[in-house]
Amino acid sequence: MIPVINPATESVFAEVPNAGVEHLDTAVIAARRAARHWSSKDLATRQSIVLELVDHVRANISELARLVTLEQGKPVAKAAGEIESGLRSLERYASWDIPIEVIRDNSDELIEVHRAPVGVVGGITAWNYPLLLALWKIGPALVTGNPIIVKPSPLTPVATLRLGELAQEILPPGVLQVLSGGDDLGRAMTAHTGIDKITFTGSERAGKSIMAGAGPTLKRLTLELGGNDPGIVLDDVDVESIAADLYWGAMSNCGQVCAGLKRLYVPGHLAPAIEEALAEVAKGVKVGNGLDDGVDMGPVQNAAQFAKVRGYVDDAVDRGADVYFCGEVPEGPGYFHPVTLVRGIDDTVPLVREEQFGPVLPILTYTDIDDVIARANNSDLALGASVWSSDEQRATKVAAQVEAGTVWVNQHPMLTSDVPFGGIKQSGLGVEQSIHGVLEYTNYRVLRVKR
């Protein structure tokens, strides 16, 4: 069994099975058996079953949200919002047609391009948005005709297991299975000859290991990895009007967002005003147990991540950083990290160079726009980025030079289910969301008839 810790209390609140290779083998057999009948249902039938699943999960949203808060830490209203947003994505995926492309239909030949399911999908998820990440994988897999085996993070497996239980009341056996387990189980899924695709959300380190592990079976891959998103503020902004969006761009989900704002570049002369405006927003933020009323931000999800975030701040201070704002946290147990705003460092400091994934934002100054674009691009990670300006044309001109899967203007991040989301460089492979993301769960199958 795996003990599951509530990050707000540091106490074990649940135990879940630690599945081994023998359980994985059994799940794969069930999934392969299910694949035959699930893939042979027509698209409309699969879509209507997915919509039934959405209704059933929605009817249980309060219970699921509470479980997410207990294992992940975020405020319960935000957990419910996360699940609802995932369900709306499923509704959208279940509304799209997947047409057959007819390339030629004449007296000589009929050539059609069909989209066939890839087979059995393995979904591996991280601990920052347990159910949203799972739903983003379950929806496209099921709609396109693939059974899926989901492995949540061993740090946040409970809500996903409950989701799997609820799904058994709607879906045919073997179509959706949830196996809880550690990194070894993820490695076994990646190597398994009975799994045809891995869709993964998590760290760059694990993403690289999955890519290597998938080589011998040449699995299809979608990899959503880390980010170190820059935000570039131009000198024409109205500081007051963007301050809250900048702040929450960095601090949503306690800073544990793959495409969160992780390093903020501001013109030197505007730095004092921006720093003060961010601190003003931060002062109004209540940190605490996500089950309590009025809490805006919960704890960091786990002890190791807490230590990592604290380490980045301590190291930055050793290198001369000025922590000009440090928020309050509740007394007692819990991985509560104060909201921390840092200035007076350059891009060589690990807090800037690496992904901090916590409620800490470094604010850096610049004088030359070409130079700051080069600094923003000087990273192996390129998930998201943002440009902030009162002049849309100016902003989009800068945005065009920033290397990232998504460049937002005057917002950061903003994800919707009809828009592709994915990283370039070492932030990932392929996209999730949108029809493009859904079609990543299919293979081309060409039908070519000689007449």
- What character string, x for contact with ligand NAD (CB under 6 A) and - otherwise, covers 311-350? ----------------------------------------
> How many residues make up the chain in this entry?
451
Active-site annotation holds for 403? no
Q: Which amino acid is at 152?
A: P
Query: How far apart (Å, rounded) are the C-alpha atoms in residues 176 and 182?
Result: 19
Grouping H, G, I as helix, E, B as strand and the rest as coil, residue 199 is strand
DSSP string, 220-231: EEEEE----EEE
Query: How far apart (Å, rounded) are the C-alpha atoms in residues 399 and 314?
Result: 33
Identified binder of ligand NAD from the candidate list 126, 175, 274, 438, rule CB under 6 A? 126
Q: Do 147 and 137 meet the contact criterion of CB atoms below 8 Å apart? A: no
Per CB under 6 A, 249 contacts ligand NAD = no
Min dist. Cβ of residue 170 to ligand NAD (A):
24
- What character string, x for contact with ligand NAD (CB under 6 A) and - otherwise, covers 215-244? ---------xxxx-----------------
Separation of CA 37 from chain center: 31
- At residue 290, φ and ψ (nearest 5 deg) are -60, -15
Per CB under 6 A, 201 contacts ligand NAD = yes
Nearest to 149 by CA among 184, 188, 189: 189
Inter-CA distances, 146 with 9, 102, 142, 357, Å? 39, 24, 5, 33
Per CB under 6 A, 153 contacts ligand NAD = yes
Per CB under 6 A, 258 contacts ligand NAD = yes
- What character string, x for contact with ligand NAD (CB under 6 A) and - otherwise, covers 47-76? ------------------------------
Tell me which of 71, 82, 204, 224 is the catalytic residue: 224
Tell me which of 204, 254, 258, 432 is the catalytic residue: 258
Identified binder of ligand NAD from the candidate list 127, 306, 312, 408, rule CB under 6 A? 127
Min dist. Cβ of residue 26 to ligand NAD (A):
19
Active-site annotation holds for 254? no
Identified binder of ligand NAD from the candidate list 47, 69, 89, 128, rule CB under 6 A? 128
Grouping H, G, I as helix, E, B as strand and the rest as coil, residue 350 is helix
Min dist. Cβ of residue 377 to ligand NAD (A):
18
Q: Which amino acid is at 169?
A: E
Per CB under 6 A, 124 contacts ligand NAD = yes
Structural tokens at position 343: 């200035």
Q: Which amino acid is at 35?
A: A
Of the listed pieces 61-69, 110-118, 150-158, 324-332, which binds ligand NAD according to CB under 6 A?
Answer: 150-158
Per CB under 6 A, 357 contacts ligand NAD = yes
The terminus-to-terminus CA distance of the chain in angstroms comes to: 61
Query: How far apart (Å, rounded) are the C-alpha atoms in residues 422 and 415?
Result: 10
Query: How far apart (Å, rounded) are the C-alpha atoms in residues 127 and 448?
Result: 45
Min dist. Cβ of residue 205 to ligand NAD (A):
6
Residues that bind ligand NAD (CB under 6 A): 124-128, 151, 153-154, 182-183, 186-187, 190, 201-203, 206, 209-210, 224-227, 258, 355, 357, 383, 423, 428
Catalytic residue set = 224, 258
